[in-house]
Copies of this chain bind each other. A is one copy, B any other.
Amino acid sequence: MTLRQMVLRLELPPGAALSENELAASLGVSRTPVREALILLAQEGLVQVFPQIGSFVSRVDPAQVADAQFLREAVELAALEDLPPELDPAVLKELRDNLERQQREDLGLEEFFELDEAFHQGLMRLSGHANAWTTVAAAKGHLDRARRLGLYENASPAVFADQHREIFDAVVAGDVTPARRAMRAHLRAVFSDIERIRARSPELFATDPSAVPVRRNVVVWE
C-alpha cells in the first residue's frame, strides 16, 4: 500500500525504474511479495513490467486520464441522481467537518488531496454506492497523478473548496440538477491544467504507451 501511495503522490516519478531486487532489499523481504505487489500495480496501470528488461513507474498517459475522467464523471453524476430522500446525518456531519477543514489557510497540498478524496467518497456513501466508488478509485491512478501535477502547478485549492461547498449545498437542498451542474464543472476543471503541464514537463507523460524504456548507465558521484 505504501508503494502505491509513493507512485500516486509522485514521490516515485513517472518513468522511474523499479527493480524487484532493490525494492525487496530496501523493504527487507524477498522478491516474491514485492513481485505480487507489482503485479497488482501493473493491473492498475501504475506500473509497467517489461519481461527481461525491467519494471517502471508508468508515465502519465493522457488517454488514460481522459478514460478515468469519463468514468468518474459518469459514476458521480449518476450517484447524485440516486440520492435517497433522507440523507444519513452521520455522513452529513462528516462532510461538513471536511468542508470546514478544506478552508483552512495553512493547508498542505497532500492534506487537501486527502480531504478531496474523502469528500467525494462521502458523497458516494450518501447515495449508497461506496463500493462502486472503490472501483472507480482503483481505476483513476493516472487521473490522480495528473491532478496532483495540476495542483503543484498553480497551488490554489481554494477554488476547489468553494466548488465542493457549492455541490454540497445543492445536495443538502435536494436540488439534483444544480448539484449535477456544479459537479460536472468541478470535475472538468482538471483539463484546463494538463496541457500546460505537459508542455513544461513532457518527460512525465507518455507518448507511445507501448514504447519500451531504455536502460541507461549513468555515473553517480558519491
Instruction: Give Cα A139–Cα B140 distance, bound, in whole angstroms.
Output: 14
Docked-complex contact A78 and B70, CB < 8 angstroms: yes
Q: Say how many copies of this protein the assembly contains.
A: 2
Cβ-based interface call for A132 (8 A)? yes
A78 to B78, CA, bound (A): 9
Determine whether A63 belongs to the interface, using a CB cutoff of 8 Å to chain B: yes
User: A135 on the interface (CB 8 Å rule)?
Assistant: yes
State how many residues of chain A have any CB contact under 8 Å with chain B: 24
Contacts of A132 in B (CB 8 A): 67-68, 70-71, 74
A interface SS class? helix
A74 to B139, CA, bound (A): 15
Nearest CB of chain B from residue A140's CB, rounded to whole Å: 9
Tell me, rounded to whole Å, the shortest Cβ–Cβ distance linking A172 to chain B. Answer: 22
For chain A, residues 116 to 161, give those with C-beta under 8 angstroms from any C-beta of chain B. 129, 131-132, 135-136, 139
Residues of chain A from 28 to 78 with CB closer than 8 A to chain B in the complex: 35-36, 39-40, 43, 63-64, 67-68, 70-71, 73-75, 77-78
